[in-house]
Structure 1
Amino acid sequence: MPPKIKTALFWIIAIFLVYAIVTSPDRAADAVRAVWDIIVSAFSSFAQFFANLTE
């Protein structure tokens, strides 16, 4: 992908995120919380998997 397109996409996404946070902070916080829960769950599952390997 050409560098100018990457830069343009980056700025479009950044502006959209700022807009989403400013217009609806509660929904933005809920989305961040949901993503965080998914990440924590994934790491927990990996930890449980490796713990079960050592048994």
Structure 2
Amino acid sequence: MPPKAKSILIWVIIIFLVYAVITSPERAADVVQAVWDMITAAFAGFGRFFNSLTA
């Protein structure tokens, strides 16, 4: 991807995220919480997997 296009794409994403938070902060918080829950569940799953390898 050309650097200019990548820069434009990043700015479009940032502007969209700011717009989403300003127009609906509760919904944005729910999305962040859901993403955080998925990340922590994934790390917990990795932990269980490696723990089962050593047991």
Match of residue 14 from structure 2: 14
Match of residue 37 from structure 1: 37
Match of residue 27 from structure 2: 27
The normalised TM-score by structure 2 is 0.98
What percent identity do the matched residue pairs reach?
Answer: 62
Provide the rounded CA distance (Å) in 2 between the counterparts of 1:49 and 1:7.
38
Shift of 1:3: 0.6
Provide the rounded CA distance (Å) in 1 between the counterparts of 2:54 and 2:40.
22
Stretches of structure 2 that go unaligned for 5 or more consecutive residues are none
Shift of 1:17: 0.2
Shift of 1:38: 0.3
Moved over 6 A (4+): none
The residue type paired with residue 50 of structure 2 is: F
The normalised TM-score by structure 1 is 0.98
